[in-house]
């Protein structure tokens, strides 16, 4: 019998699959990378589970960022950039409302914080960013670099690792980046190429959570909602 939390995660992913499919696939890959690295480091079962669920939900706030901003090929305007940068706080609000644990909320709120305090929303110092968050941040960046974007080609896994290693002392946790460098290439390629897009957790969606996520999306993005006949 799936736990309530498993049903909630499933429901949120169902909404993301429908409204933001690329974001949903990205979240699944980040989760797979993160769990692998956490297991490689021998982290506790509880931390691995926090990373697994937190990664699956880390970009849930992008449900409330208009799709045309997420897929815009050119430079974002100041206003659009601000709307995009609000996604950690939107996601935090949604997940807190649904009762997710503090460790999972940390990942959602802080995954864009950086070692050198250049991140957002709070410009935290690297020392106070939880380990679980640091792992998700690096895997998030790795997946972003190795996935194609409308404005650029994807990097190879090795090129992305080299780039992150160069930036690790400043922007990313060097401990986590060294872990990424030691991850087997075959594992990285498997996550990047296998059928994760088709993956569905075995639980049935929690209809109440599904409704909450969908209603918030429709309220935040009325133009998109108005274009759909069924959702």
62 is an active site residue: yes
Residue number with CB closer to Fe ion (61 or 205)? 61
Tell me whether the omega of the peptide bond preceding residue 121 falls within 30 degrees of 0, making it cis.
yes
Q: What's the min distance (Å) between Cβ of 87 and Fe ion?
A: 6
Q: Chain centroid to CA 198: how far?
A: 17
Q: What are phi and psi of 152, to 5 degrees?
A: -165, 160
Q: Closer to Fe ion at the Cβ: 7 or 30?
A: 30
Q: How far is the CB of 204 from Fe ion (least distance, A)?
A: 27
Measured from the CB of residue 35, what is the shortest distance to Fe ion in angstroms? 18
Smallest distance from the beta carbon of 58 to Fe ion, in angstroms? 6
Smaller CB distance to Fe ion: residue 14 or 59? 59
Residue 92 or 183: the one with the smaller Cβ distance to Fe ion is 92
Site residues, Fe ion (CB under 5 A): 59
Residues designated catalytic:
62
């Amino acid at each position: 019998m799936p736990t309530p939390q498993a049903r909630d995660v499933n429901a949120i992913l169902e909404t993301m699959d429908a409204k933001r499919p690329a974001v949903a696939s990205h979240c699944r890959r980040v989760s797979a990378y993160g769990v692998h690295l956490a297991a490689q480091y021998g982290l506790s079962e509880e931390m691995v589970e926090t990373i697994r669920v937190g990664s699956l939900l880390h970009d849930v706030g992008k449900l409330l960022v208009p799709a045309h901003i997420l897929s815009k090929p050119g430079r974002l305007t100041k206003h659009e950039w601000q709307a995009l940068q609000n996604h950690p706080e939107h996601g935090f609000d949604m997940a807190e409302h649904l009762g997710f644990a503090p460790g999972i909320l940390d990942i959602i709120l802080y995954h864009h914080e950086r070692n050198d305090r250049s991140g957002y929303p709070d410009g935290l110092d690297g020392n106070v960013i939880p380990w679980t968050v640091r792992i998700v941040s690096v895997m998030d960046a790795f997946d972003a670099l190795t996935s194609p974007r409308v404005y650029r080609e994807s990097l190879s896994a090795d090129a992305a690792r080299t780039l992150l290693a160069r930036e690790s002392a400043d922007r990313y946790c060097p401990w986590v980046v060294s872990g990424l460098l030691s991850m087997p290439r075959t594992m990285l390629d498997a996550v990047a190429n296998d059928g994760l897009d088709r993956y569905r957790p075995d639980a049935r969606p929690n209809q109440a959570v599904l409704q909450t996520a969908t209603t918030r999306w429709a309220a935040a993005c009325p133009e998109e909602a108005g274009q759909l006949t069924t959702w």
